[in-house]
Amino acid sequence: MWGIFSRTMVGMAKPCGLMKPCHLVKPVSAARVSGRYLTHQKGLPTLPVPHLQQTCERYVRALEPILKVDELKQTRELVDEFQKPGGIGERLQRSLEKRAQNTENWILLSLCRFAAKLTAGVLDFKTMIDNETLPVEYLGGKSLCMNQYYEVLSSCRIPGLKRDLVVNHAKSSKHITVVHNFQFFALEVYNSDGTPLTADQLFIQLEKICSASLQTNAEPVGILTTQHRDAWGKAYINLSMDETNRESVSAIQRSIFTLCLDGAMPQVSDEMLRSCAAVQMLHGGGSQWNSGNRWFDKTLQFIIGEDGICGANYEHAPAEGPPIVALIDHAVEYTRKPEMVQTPVVPLPVPQKLHFNITPEIKKDIEEAKHAMNMMYQRCCSTYESASLRMFRLGRTDTIRSASSASAAFVRAFDDPSKQVPSKTDCVMCFGPVVSDGYGVCYNPMNDHINFAVSSFNSCKETDAAHLAQAVEGALLDMRTLLEQTPKAKL
């Protein structure tokens, strides 16, 4: 698992369309099953591990309508190599089967466990800020202003028709916002005695949230924050007219930070993995993925995906980069340490779900925000619908691959006309361009290599992030060659 840190200007990303899955399971009347909702739990079968060959065949079939002919040919060759007798595929298959024998559900990942540890790390850093025990930073023997550290947490940007406002609730904020499946929750992260919840306590609370937000048909209210600031300012007024909406938005704005528990992004090659992760951190990948699982006005959003990708998104208005880098370094290092605090045995309150009343006008604003990305990317992409696995013990959801060769042909028929602050951890930092025809270039120098992240707008024909990245790499390699050829000085 590797981290990515990104800074983005709100409204840069233009999102695309969401499809609502149909309701396959209807809830039974509570009056008929009162007090007996776990009656049949032990009788449910465990989720089986599919055969390796079956998994590989389905994987290739899901890629057929998405990949080019040469890419698909290479994929088939790699899959054949993967499932050879005695190969890595068989070894991994045996590991899965062994895991299935020792767990109630082999597919459940430790998403909430890592998220809990990361949150505990951030709260540990916040304690140093609140107690004023954070080490003073120096540059050239002179102390630096530390005020920005007090602006990073519990801050939020509020949209306005003419200008935005940045507010900070550091003294009163005791909760974080958690977003899962486009649904927002307020999670209290301090005990009654003022001590922060332990990682174990946070894990329990995050599990509650995930269990309470399994449905994926919620309106992606968060996608409104991706709009141009003027458009979002108008939509914000519409959204705030309702009292319930105002209370929910206020809870988000007053929170310490936002924790986004994302669904998996489409699988890509190893070469494209970091680019895909950067996209996920910058804007969520579009409305059909995780752009609605955000509140981009929040100064700090931590993002953790089902597929292991994790990172953060930083709204730049309240502070610059160094405080964020220091916070993330501390949090990442914290996750690598064993839990040293004993978890108190106390009852924990149920996390509060933040509700939104969606009026026709708000619905229109959401659709317009989603439509912006659709107009930019009219192409077939890897698409899925959720399938319930609740027939199996601890079952969550799996995916139904909607894209097929037939649907791809159908779509084609319609289109046929006859910079930097180094981080201690090896993470990739990135930000978007500040002008429409510019580039965003950020680098993180490590001991033996440098991480570069280059971005540009897809809508600009004059810019090419990949070409610029190659040029930077070429220039650095030329410099290395020159330095290697220069005779060493005889001292």
pLDDT tens digit string along 313-352? Answer: 988 888 877 888 889 899 989 988 877 666 777 788 899 9
Instruction: Check: pTM over 0.85? Answer yes or no.
Output: no
DSSP 262-316: EPPPPP--GGGHHHHHHHHHHHTT-TTTTTTS--TTBSEEEEEETTS-EEEEEE-
User: Per-residue confidence at 400, pLDDT binned at 50, 70, 90?
Assistant: low
The residue among 180, 301, 292, 154 whose CA lies nearest residue 227 is 292
The residue among 347, 33, 62, 399 whose CA lies nearest residue 208 is 347
Are the C-beta atoms of residues 189 and 302 closer than 8 Å to each other? no
Gap between the Cα atoms of 235 and 10, Å rounded: 15
**What is the structure's pLDDT at 425?**
60
**What is the structure's pLDDT at 27?**
45
Which one of 228, 316, 330, 371 is the catalytic residue? Answer: 316
User: Does residue 163 surpass a pLDDT of 70?
Assistant: yes
Q: What are the tokens at 283? A: 């804007």
User: Does residue 12 surpass a pLDDT of 50?
Assistant: no
**CATH code linked to domain 3-21+109-415:** 3.30.559.70
3-class DSSP assignment, residue 344: coil
What does the chain come to in residues?
491
Range with the poorest average pLDDT among 13-17, 44-48, 76-80, 278-282:
13-17
User: Per-residue confidence at 462, pLDDT binned at 50, 70, 90?
Assistant: confident
Gap between the Cα atoms of 154 and 177, Å rounded: 11
User: Does residue 143 surpass a pLDDT of 80?
Assistant: yes
Q: Per-residue pLDDT averaged across 213-233, rounded?
A: 86
User: Per-residue confidence at 147, pLDDT binned at 50, 70, 90?
Assistant: confident
Which residues lie across from 368 on neighbouring strands?
none
Which residues lie across from 354 on neighbouring strands?
184
Summarised one tens digit per residue, pLDDT across range 57-77 is 999 998 998 889 999 999 999
Q: Which residue has the higher pLDDT, 186 or 348?
A: 186
CATH 3.30.559.70 in the chain: give the residue spans. Answer: 3-21+109-415
User: Does residue 260 surpass a pLDDT of 90?
Assistant: yes
Selection from 4-13, 185-194, 211-220, 388-397 with the highest mean pLDDT: 185-194
Contacts of 354 (CB under 8 A, 6+ apart): 177, 184, 185, 186, 247, 248, 251, 252
The residue among 289, 199, 209, 298 whose CA lies nearest residue 249 is 298
Check if 283 is active-site: no
Say which DSSP state 416 is in: -
Gap between the Cα atoms of 122 and 264, Å rounded: 24
Q: What is the mean pLDDT of the chain?
A: 78
Q: What are phi and psi of 195, to 5 degrees?
A: -80, 145
User: Does residue 2 surpass a pLDDT of 50?
Assistant: no
Edge-to-edge strand ranges of the sheet holding 310-315: 352-354, 183-188, 175-180, 258-262, 300-305, 310-315, 3-8, 428-431
